[in-house]
Amino acid sequence: MKILVVNVNTSQSMSDVIDAAAKTAASPGTDIVTLTPFFGPEAVDCNFESYISAVAVMDRVLAYDEPFDAVVMAGFGEHGRDGLQELIEQPVIEICEASAHMAMMIGRSYSVVTTLRRSVPPIEDRLRLSGLADRCASVRANGMTTLEVDQDPAGAMRSIVEEARKAVEHDHAEVICLGCAGMAGLEEAITSELGVPVIDGVAAAVRLAEAVVGLGLKTSKVSTYARPEAKRIDGWPLSEALGLGPRPQGLALRAGGRR
């Protein structure tokens, strides 16, 4: 089984972190191929960037011209999962939703802990739209920017653990979901301090992708995620139009061109 894991930003170091997490989580016999978009933001922290990222992720997956069995979208709550589901038949598992699915199987309620306060609404929206918000006790942020995290990793870890503690003690969360990829490695710290299971989204998504593929299931094409009808799309595929990245042959959706 081969799973494509797509980073949603263009940071190669982040892709490396994601790749390692995915490979650690994968079952024996599962091949992990981690992709980085050809264009887009180096980090995704707001809706503006998330929309660019959504398009870049779809562009990148379509450019991959070998067989694969599933896609893991490694952006916590970012846009684009439903668009990608339209374009391909293979299951697409987004890591925020995967975290919630996994959490709900081992606890009555869960909280997400992330960094920027402005990331909270998109995560809440993602959970609500995917029908997984009901057992979400809270989405909490430690309020640090990426820069501050970089400058004070120990302080960042402490404040993340503190938010997790509030989630457990005040919001009655019984499972903690790590709300961004940079938190990988905090699982043990939180579990040992608070005694609750902790879920990393990439790991959860890889295992759930295996489960879906293992049953031979594919995305339902009967309505919402039916394949788009062919039509003119100016500038698409974007990476090709931008002169970025190698392009596969015979891509069905290459409809447009420069005007």
Q: Give residues 83-142 in contact with its own copies (rule: CB under 8 A).
A: 83-87, 91, 93, 97, 101-102, 104-108, 117-118, 120-121, 125, 128-135
99 or 159, CB closer to its own copies? Answer: 99
Query: Any idea which residue has 């069905």 for tokens?
Result: 252
Pattern 188-207, its own copies, x by CB under 8 A: ------xxxx-x---xx--x
Cα–Cα distance, 99 to 87 (Å, whole number): 24
Candidates 10, 111, 115, 159; binder of its own copies (CB under 8 A) is 10
CB of 109 to its own copies, least distance (A): 8
Helix (H) or strand (E) holding 104: helix 95-106
Q: Which residues contact 33 (CB under 8 A, 6 or more apart)?
A: 2, 3, 4, 5, 64, 68
Candidates 67, 223, 246, 250; binder of its own copies (CB under 8 A) is 223
Total residues contacting its own copies by CB under 8 A comes to: 98
- Footprint on residues 59-88 left by its own copies (CB under 8 A): 79-80, 82-87
CB of 81 to its own copies, least distance (A): 9
231 binds its own copies per the rule CB under 8 A: yes
98 or 154, CB closer to its own copies? Answer: 98
For every residue of 172-224, DSSP letters joined together read --SEEEE-SGGGTTHHHHHHHHH---EEEHHHHHHHHHHHHHHTT-----SST
Cα–Cα distance, 255 to 240 (Å, whole number): 12
The amino acid present at 87, given as its one-letter code, is L
Give the burial string for 21-40 (b: 16+ CB within 10 Å, else e). Answer: bbeebbeeebebebbbbbbb
Q: Which stretch binds its own copies (CB under 8 A): 15-23, 50-58, 155-163, 178-186?
A: 50-58
CB of 243 to its own copies, least distance (A): 7
